[in-house]
Amino acid sequence: MHKSIITIGREFGSGGRTVGRKVAEALHIDFYDEELVKQVALESGFNEKYIEQAGEDASSDNWFSYIFANRSGNGSSLSMDDYLWMVQCEVIRRISEKPCVIVGRCGDYVLRDREDVLHVFIYADMDKRAERIVRLYGESEKSPQKRLEEKDKKRKMYHKRFTDIEWGDYHNYHLMLDSGLVGIDECANIIVDLVQNKIK
Amino acid sequence: MHKSIITIGREFGSGGRTVGRKVAEALHIDFYDEELVKQVALESGFNEKYIEQAGEDASSDNWFSYIFANRSGNGSSLSMDDYLWMVQCEVIRRISEKPCVIVGRCGDYVLRDREDVLHVFIYADMDKRAERIVRLYGESEKSPQKRLEEKDKKRKMYHKRFTDIEWGDYHNYHLMLDSGLVGIDECANIIVDLVQNKIK
C-alpha cells in the first residue's frame, strides 16, 4: 500500500529532524516538528517551551504533574503529562489526515495501526552525534556524551510510560538508518525513493 | 571509508540470505553462507548438519557439549560449542581478508572493529515470514509462528552466550530493513547502491 505519512523516530543529534525536513520538501508534503509543538500548545494551553520537552522526554520533575492533578478538583487522577499526551495524540491523528512527515512525539505508536504510514528510525554513533550537537547547539557544562545519554534515556522512558512499544526496537520501524554512515542526504533519498517508487 | 565486507544478520524467514546472495552477485564478491558452514566443518571435523545449527543457534542440548568437554581429558573446560565458536571466528576472520558478504554466524560481532565492514540486519513481520517459510520449507508439525519464534529465540541466545552485543539491537548495524515492506530486491539494491556510490 502506498505510504503517504512518514514518522521519524530519532536519537538526539542524529540529524533525524533534518532528514524528515528534506523528505517533506522532496515529496512536497507538510513537515511537523515545531509546527506540531505549536499546535499542541494552542490546544492544550501550555507554552511551547514546556511542550517541546514534556511532549517527548520523560521528566524527573513529576511534582509538577501532581500539582496539576490535584488542581483539577473533580476527583480525576489525570496528570498534566497524561493530559498533554492525550492532546498530542489527538493532534497527530488529525494532522495525519493529509500526507505529512512527523518527527518524534511517539508518532510511530499513535499511528501504528495505519497501513499508509512508513515508520523510520534514524541513529548514529556517539562520536558523530557529539560532534553534531556541539556544532549546532554549542558547548554546555555537561559533556556532549552526557547530554546525549540523558536525552536518549528520557525519550526511551517517555515511550515506556505512554506506549507498550520500545523506542528503537526494530519491530516498530520499516527502516532504520545510521545517518553517521549513510549520511543525512542519502537517508532522505532512500526514504523518498521508497515512498515514490519502490514500495509494492 | 569504503566498505568491502558486508555482514547480514537476519530474522529467520525474512529473506536475509537471499538479499545477501543478490548483493554478492551484484558486487561480484564472494558469498558466505553454506560455504562458511562447509569451511567450518572442514576445519573443526564436525559434520555440516551439526554446524548449520550449532554455529548460530543456542541449543537446549547442552549435555552434548559437556560430554565433549569431559572427553578432552586435559582438564580444560572448553566445551564443544566453545571450540566450534573459536573455529568459526577464525574462519570468518580469514575469509574477510577479501571482499565478501557473510550471512549470520555473528559476523557482526567478529568483525565489529573493522572499519571496512557494513553491518546490515534484515527482518520482516511475522505474517510475511510465516508465509515465506511455508512456501520455501513446507509445512511441519509446528505452526510457522512457533517455528519462527523458536528460531529467533535461539539466535538471540546464541549471540548472548558468545558475544556482548544483542542480536537485533540497532547499535550494532548501519542499516536495518524490513524486507516485507521494502522487498528483497530493493533491500539488495539499497545495500549495493550504498557500497558502490554513497558511503562518504
Q: Which residue of B has its CA nearest to A166?
A: B169
User: How far A181 CA lies from chain B's nearest CA (Å)?
Assistant: 7
- Among candidates A174, A178, A194 on the partner chain, residue whose Cβ is nearest the Cβ of B174: A178
Rounded to whole angstroms, the Cα distance separating B23 from B28 reads: 8
Low-confidence ranges of chain B (pLDDT < 70): 59-77, 198-200
Q: Do B123 and A170 touch (CB under 8 A)?
A: yes
Mind spelling out the 3-state secondary structure of chain B?
A: CCCCEEEEEECCCCCHHHHHHHHHHHHCCEEECHHHHHHHHHHHCCCHHHHHHHCCCCCCCHHHHHHHHHHCCCCCCCCHHHHHHHHHHHHHHHHCCCCEEEECCCHHHHCCCCCCEEEEEEECCHHHHHHHHHHHHCCCCCCHHHHHHHHHHHHHHHHHHHCCCCCCCHHHCCEEEEHHHHCHHHHHHHHHHHHHHHCC
A83 touches B: beta carbon within 8 Å:
no
Smallest Cα–Cα separation from A183: which of B170, B120, B111, B175? B175
Instruction: Mutate one of B6, B149, B176 to test the A interface: name it (highest A CB count within 10 A).
Output: B176
- Among candidates B176, B183, B186 on the partner chain, residue whose Cβ is nearest the Cβ of A176: B176
Which residues face A5 on adjacent strands?
A: A100, A117
pLDDT number for residue A76: 57
Residue A1 contacts residue A115 (beta carbons within 8 Å): yes
Rounded to whole angstroms, the Cα distance separating A93 from A37 reads: 14
Per-residue pLDDT of chain A (200 residues; tens, 9 = 90+): 789 999 999 999 999 999 999 999 999 999 998 888 888 888 878 788 887 777 777 765 544 554 444 444 455 567 788 888 888 898 999 999 999 999 998 999 999 999 999 999 999 999 999 999 999 888 788 899 999 999 899 888 888 888 988 999 999 999 999 999 999 999 999 999 999 986 65
pLDDT number for residue B194: 94
Residue A153 contacts residue A166 (beta carbons within 8 Å): no
Chain A residues whose CB is inside 8 A of the B182 CB are 174-175, 194, 198-199
- Between strands A175-178 and A117-123, the pairing is parallel
- The H or E element that residue A176 is part of is strand A175-178
pLDDT number for residue B76: 57
A121 touches B: beta carbon within 8 Å:
yes
Instruction: Mutate one of A190, A192, A195 to test the B interface: name it (highest B CB count within 10 A).
Output: A190
Grid look-up 541513529 returns A123
Smallest Cα–Cα separation from A51: which of A66, A68, A33? A33
A200 touches B: beta carbon within 8 Å:
yes
Q: Do A182 and B174 touch (CB under 8 A)?
A: yes
Chain B residues whose CB is inside 8 A of the A186 CB are 194, 198
pLDDT number for residue B41: 81
Q: Which residue of B has its CA nearest to A179?
A: B174
Which residues face B55 on adjacent strands?
A: none
Residue B161 contacts residue B84 (beta carbons within 8 Å): no
CA angle (B165, B167, B173) in 5-degree steps: 80
Give me the interface pTM, i.e. the ipTM: 0.86
Question: Which set of grid coordinates corresponds to residue A14?
Answer: 542524529
Q: Which residue of A has its CA nearest to B190?
A: A190
- The H or E element that residue A117 is part of is strand A117-123
User: How far B177 CA lies from chain A's nearest CA (Å)?
Assistant: 5
Chain B residues whose CB is inside 8 A of the A170 CB are 121, 123, 168, 170, 176
Q: Do A176 and B194 touch (CB under 8 A)?
A: no
Rounded to whole angstroms, the Cα distance separating B131 from A197 reads: 25
Give the list of residues 6+ apart from residue B54 with CB closer than 8 angstroms, or none: B46, B80, B81, B84
